[in-house]
Structure 1
């Protein structure tokens, strides 16, 4: 919510005080330069790559070898996985039956989203982007849904809210994730608090069900889907970040480790030591079903721990 007593103003290009269009690589982006923070948001993928409060560093991890090309997923920041998450074959049958490709993480990740609204104030900036998943995507997905993604930036932190509305006549099953990359100076000195005693699927152990014992630590490749939507705190040697989710009962924790890092595109071989992903999700058994006209919002607030 706005911290000022007056609501932010909805402005059109040319009237914006803190936002400018920019071309980065081959992609269009909105650059936010507010007295209290900076941010960079790409139209392709509705992809946030930068959030920097005043006198701070980027709260998001970005690969130094990321490429900004049409149709290519950007490595780092917060990719939007929608309307399916991960490997299509690993989704529930109701989700899987709509997917017509073997590509992971959904069509929203590389589609070009539409700018819907910009609101600015002395304390915050709010930007909304939309994606109409209609017959234009029939080659990869069967359905009709509207995704509206609102970003709110303030000195308190960064909030994303992704609202899906089923525009079709039949029930719509989907999975999704806000695939947040976070930086760390040392992955082995990093831990996640708030997942103790949570059940999780360990995808590296043939999707075996396990129970978390205490904080999550990292020692090599990690790829888990936790049955938990509670607030989490990510503690690194230099920072502490709190992630508060809405509309989520699953959290994905991922780090590629040294061997998988060698196989990833746009990812330096040693980069696994300086990043981790904590993803607010509707994944595995937490997939959602919307009747015609119904909506669901998945969101996360990233703040200081």
Structure 2
């Protein structure tokens, strides 16, 4: 499937859906879910979830007011999928680094065009699955062959995102990844993350120095840390509380750009850093994964109520 195709790649037959509709937003195709109990928006580019909200609530995800919806351009906000490498390729383990042929951070999945595989609806839940066949079409960017399936499950209780990677090559496949979840807050200075106390973390702003977290994570300017933990987390903001429960992960990235870096980021409002934080379910740093031929691994996060 060519990334330049104008028609959405579909392997299911539309028409039987009660709550899900195609929508063109900017220059991109998206699926919008208008269920009596909740709403959601997923773009085929990047299998990118930008909106989820139970009925009569605001978006549980932060989406930049300056976000652009253009082919080949990553969307700022929501839950970008970072795959098959996370962050700077040069900071990845050698087994991953040797496969990467470009310096771009966070891999190519977040700007690739995914294929719609399935839409399942009920009175209480909607589940949508999209796939990416990372084959020779991506040879200029990466050396590997894998199938990635992104499954989104929505209900009044919350939303779940699961990313399953299957190695289709004959050689072992090493990769790192993250569900780069952006969350909203009314005030980053009155925001904290619970559940990472006593965890070791890499502080990427201190030349990747190892540190130990004491108590909750607070934000005092730019923050960029890779925690060696996959434990359930509670994010507390003036807007309320959210619980994040991960599967297939032993690393968590906590990020806020602060004022200086925010000014350099694309599609990012000048004061946007005060209204958001990222808590990312990951397989990053030493938590990268290796799959033998035919093996699969699922990384997932459930964002729920407290």
Unaligned runs of 5+ in 2: 1-11
1:140 aligns with 2:141: yes
Matched, 1:214 2:215: yes
Using the size of structure 1 for normalisation, the TM-score is 0.96
**Alignment of 1:301 onto 2:302:** yes
- C-alpha displacement at 1:15, in angstroms? 1.1
Please give the secondary structure, in 1, of the residue aligned with 2:274: helix
Alignment partner, residue 175 of structure 2: 174
Aligned length: 296
2:244 and 2:104 mapped to 1: Cα distance? 28
- Counterpart of 1:109 in 2: which secondary structure? coil
Query: Counterpart of 2:155?
Result: 154
Matched residues in 2 for 1:300 and 1:105: separation?
Answer: 18
Alignment of 1:240-255 (within 5 A): 240-255=241-256
Matches within 5 A, 1:1-305: 12-305=13-306
> Equivalents in 2 of 1:238, 1:144: separation in Å?
42
Partner of 2:7: none
Distance in structure 2 (CA, Å) of the matches to 1:107 and 1:75: 15
Using the TM superposition, give the Cα deviation of residue 39 of structure 1 relative to its aligned residue in structure 2, in angstroms.
0.4
CA RMSD of aligned residues (A): 0.9
Could you tell me which residue of structure 2 aligns to residue 3 of structure 1? none
Q: Detail structure 1 runs of 4+ shifted over 2 Å in the superposition.
A: none
| 5+ residue gaps, structure 1 | 1-10
CA distance in 2, matches of 1:96, 1:113: 24
SS at match of 2:120: strand
**1:90, 1:220 → 2: CA distance?**
23
| Deviation per residue, 1:68-100 (Å, 9 max, x gap) | 000000000000000100000000000111000
Alpha-carbon displacement from aligned partner over 1:83-118 (angstroms, at most 9, x marks no partner): 100000000000111000000101101000000001
Instruction: Return the alpha-carbon distance in structure 2 between the equivalents of residues 286 and 118 of structure 1.
Output: 32
User: Matches of 1:110 and 1:210 in 2, distance apart?
Assistant: 33
Q: If the length of structure 2 is used for normalisation, what is the TM-score?
A: 0.96
Counterpart Cα distance in 2 of 1:59 and 1:239: 10
Paired with 1:138 and 1:198, the residues of 2 have a C-alpha distance of 38
Aligned partners of 1:12 and 1:239: how far apart in 2? 39
Counterpart Cα distance in 2 of 1:199 and 1:304: 27
Whole-angstrom distance in 2 between the partners of 1:111 and 1:214: 39
